[in-house]
Amino acid sequence: MAVASVPPLDFTATSPSGTNRAGGASPAAATEFHDDDLDALDFSGLEVTDVGIQVEHQEDPLQGLLEQVAMLYASGADAQVAAILADARNQHRQGALAERLWLMQLDLYQVLDQRSEFDQLALEFAHTFEKSPPTWLVHQDACPVAPLPPGTLQFKGGLEGGNEDGFAPLQSALEQCKRGGALAWDFSRVTLIDPDGCARLAACFDQARQRKITVALSGVDGLLTRLAPRCETGKREAEGCWLLLLNLLALSGDTAGFEERAVDYAVTFEVSPPAWEPVKAAGGAVPAHSAPVAEETFCLSGQLIGERFAGLADFAAGHGQVVIDLARVQRMDFSSAGALLNALTPLKAAGKTVVVRGAHQLLVELLNLVGVAAVAQIVPPKR
């Protein structure tokens, strides 16, 4: 099948970021990147084949291939990525671009936990490029975090209706807390949610509100990220998720966000929109998968899908050099990469030194593609 080509993605003129891959534009000239901006990109000349999306590049064709692979990986097309890399690796065995391509496949094996394939390719890499190959990296699943404040109750397991080990301590704490008292709950370890679990947690917040109990929350950014795709206007399958989302927006003091989603809730369930009711809360919400650690880095982990990097601006406010650790990030979608560019651009414009470190090669290529290299130093992991 013939493959149609499209002009290269031009981030110098049409990109919302105002930057290019070579870093030619000033960070101060960048404007915000929005999901809607993807509609402006012309993909009319693009054809999807059994090996993916072909993108024409004005420079070395291999550069275009690296960008194509980065985009496919960001969208979750691991099988296509593996096939393209395996085929291209046999054709490209020398030069800096070829080495980057090989590193992408090694890192794909690392992310997919395919140790034997990694070791075999590492030996071939050493023979081909006549240098020491990358080593298998062992990371903790999550970022190291500072100890929780004394008295903080950390939710255990998934936010699922049948998780008594998680909900029983919350309920007990509510029952033992005096009227007008205070509680501190952390949800940073929650990775699974279901509507019943969300409804149970929303009911806990309702109890706290009725008894005038102050609730300090941490680690809720991950919950908000997981709730967003389940709260789709017009779909009634997950009312518990809607109820929890509205509670979290109220607890965070996000009046505008609450009012917007309250209207969406009313339209979906054909009821009057819930009224804004100020909730007595203590402390700010701390992102579920981001935390400053001993080295004062902003650490991220897991799959970053639809990520908006809440907390990064506050973290950066207290640091002249902003170090973002991506060593534990497996995947970042295109929207999140654009959001990261948006978050970093004003930091660079304010004169801060921004360092993005530890990203595997598949992520590095994506970050380069959207223009992050224009506003931050990208430091690969020590291999």
Alpha helices (runs of H) in 252-360, residue ranges in sequence order: 255-269, 312-317, 334-349
Query: Of the spans 37-41, 44-48, 326-330, which averages the highest pLDDT?
Result: 326-330
Judge whether 108 and 143 are in contact, CB under 8 Å.
Answer: no
Q: Is 208 helix (H, G, I), strand (E, B) or coil?
A: helix
Question: What per-residue confidence (pLDDT) applies to 290?
Answer: 41
Average pLDDT, the chain: 81
pLDDT digits (tens, 9 = 90+) for 85-124: 999 998 999 999 999 999 999 999 999 999 999 999 999 9
Q: Residue type at 309?
A: F
Classified as helix, coil or strand, 91 is: helix
Rounded Cα distance between 67 and 65, Å, is 5
CA–CA distance, 139 with 183 (Å, rounded to integer): 33
Question: What pLDDT does 189 receive?
Answer: 80
Q: Residues 252-299: pLDDT tens digits?
A: 778 888 999 999 999 999 998 888 775 554 444 333 344 433 346 888
Confidence check: pLDDT of 167 > 60: yes
Nearest to 328 by CA among 293, 353, 354: 293
Q: What is the pLDDT of residues 125-149, one digit of tens each?
A: 999 999 999 999 876 556 665 566 7
Best CA proximity match to 194, nearest among 141, 239, 127, 136: 239
Answer whether residue 34 shows pLDDT above 80.
no
Residue type, 258: F
- Model confidence over 225-261: pLDDT tens digits? 789 888 999 999 999 999 999 999 888 778 888 999 9
In angstroms, rounded to a whole number, what is the distance separating the alpha carbons of residues 32 and 197?
35
What is the C-alpha separation between 237 and 25, in angstroms, rounded? 46
325 has pLDDT over 50 = yes
Q: Which residue in the block uniquely carries the two structure tokens 């930091």?
A: 347
* pLDDT given for residue 142 in this prediction: 60
Would you state the structure tokens that stand for residue 311, as one six-digit string?
Answer: 């907390």
Rounded to whole angstroms, how far apart are CA atoms 133 and 106? Answer: 10
Structure tokens at 48: 């999807």
Q: Which of 69-83, 147-161, 347-361 has the lowest mean pLDDT?
A: 147-161
For Cα atoms 62, 66, 68, give the angle at the middle one, nearest 5 degrees. 110
pLDDT of 328 above 50:
yes
pLDDT for 32 beyond 90: no
d(C-alpha 352, C-alpha 261), whole Å: 35
Give me the residues paired with residue 215 across strands: 183, 281
Q: For 229, which DSSP code?
A: G
| CA–CA distance, 337 with 326 (Å, rounded to integer) | 12
Which residues neighbour 204 within 8 Å (Cβ) at sequence distance 6 or greater? 167, 170, 171, 174
